[in-house]
Amino acid sequence: MRMFRKVALGASALALALSACSTGGGSSASPGATTPASTTAATQAADVTIKIGSDDFDEAKVVAEIYAQALEAQGFKVDRTGFGIGGRKVTAPALESGQIDLKPEYIGSGLAFYGGTSGNSSDANRTGLQAKLTSVGGGITVLDYMPGQDTNAFVVRKETADQFSLTNMSSVGPHQNDLKWALATDCPTNPLCAAALQSAYGLAPTDVTYLGACSGPMAAALLQKTVDVAELCSTGPEITTNGWVVLADDKQTQPADNIAPLVRNDLLAKVDKDKLEKALNDVSAKIDTKTLAQLYYDVAINHKDLADVAKAWLTANGFAS
């Protein structure tokens, strides 16, 4: 790709030289004149394809698709190969290495993943995450977060809640080994999962199945009564559809988890940085928690195509026509 750029630029320079030679009498560039920075940036940006990735569940993928289409509407080229490539243990190294250039991130969970202490302040979580990412992978920028957020939620069927009088996570303790659990695959090493359950609530259940976070199989296991407690996303449409009970996080172990785009700094240096950031920040500003839940619902429950859901939302909000 680097060699191709050099050839393309060489061809452009040759065309300019021939044009200058063929003009008779008019003004011409003085010897030693350089190509304007704006022209160089435009040529450079035209060669750049933005590789977008996401975690492997519907909400993350539909947000990634919205970001992708918003960028395309502004003339950027996008590669979606990285959509749904895995959990944070996969997407974080992919972003750091340049396998992908951009991903939607849940800023509280992202901060905890990088060893920071996340809390209930969205601003503090973003600031903390940016501090962690400034020197990672050559530098990664945390753009504006959306008002909408989605936190980790521990969910039971209503009959289970009634049987054991479960209302919050503290009430689960005496019954933890009477219940079958489905937890995210990264739970054993995720400080917001196993460590938080143990330290805050004394929970270390013995009958555990590990499944993809916020995934269809996780919800299906709860629905089919294969498990009694499932770790889902708080915006998960299955919760409302099935009348399940979200156990209150009464010790506040789960942080504010607004979504923000993470973008590699080397990408920002290759494109119109202000234009890219504005395109993404403007979109993020319009997505509140209700909107986020509806987007998730349309894909996961109504089985609508990702691209169609994203396009409809962007059009309705003036970002596409």
Sheet with 229-233, edge to edge strand ranges: 208-211, 181-184, 229-233, 152-156, 245-246
Predicted local confidence at residue 251, as pLDDT: 96
Please check whether residue 13 lies inside any domain of the structure. no
- In angstroms, the first-to-last Cα distance of the chain is 33
* pTM, entire model: 0.80
Task: Give per-residue pLDDT as tens, 221-236.
Answer: 999 999 999 999 999 9
DSSP secondary structure, 218-231, as one string: HHHHHHTTS-SEEE
pLDDT at 28 over 80: no
Mean pLDDT of the chain, nearest integer: 88
- On whether both 52 and 80 belong to a single domain, the answer is yes
Return the CATH number at 270. Answer: 3.40.190.10
pLDDT at 104 over 70: yes
- Structure letter (DSSP) for residue 320: -
- For 170, counting Cβ atoms within 10 Å of its Cβ (0-12 exposed, 13-18 middle, 19+ buried), the class is middle
- On whether both 59 and 91 belong to a single domain, the answer is yes
Task: Give per-residue pLDDT as tens, 133-149.
Answer: 999 999 999 999 999 99
Please check whether residue 130 lies inside any domain of the structure. yes
Predicted local confidence at residue 306, as pLDDT: 96
- Pick from 226, 246, 266: which residue ends a domain? 246
- On whether both 219 and 299 belong to a single domain, the answer is no
- On whether both 143 and 158 belong to a single domain, the answer is no
Please check whether residue 135 lies inside any domain of the structure. yes
- On whether both 267 and 228 belong to a single domain, the answer is no
Return the CATH number at 159. Answer: 3.40.190.120
Question: d(Cα 174, Cα 171) in Å, to the nearest integer?
Answer: 7
Range of the domain at 133: 48-149+256-316
- On whether both 278 and 212 belong to a single domain, the answer is no
Number of independent structural domains in the chain: 2
- On whether both 161 and 290 belong to a single domain, the answer is no
pLDDT at 8 over 80: no
Please check whether residue 28 lies inside any domain of the structure. no
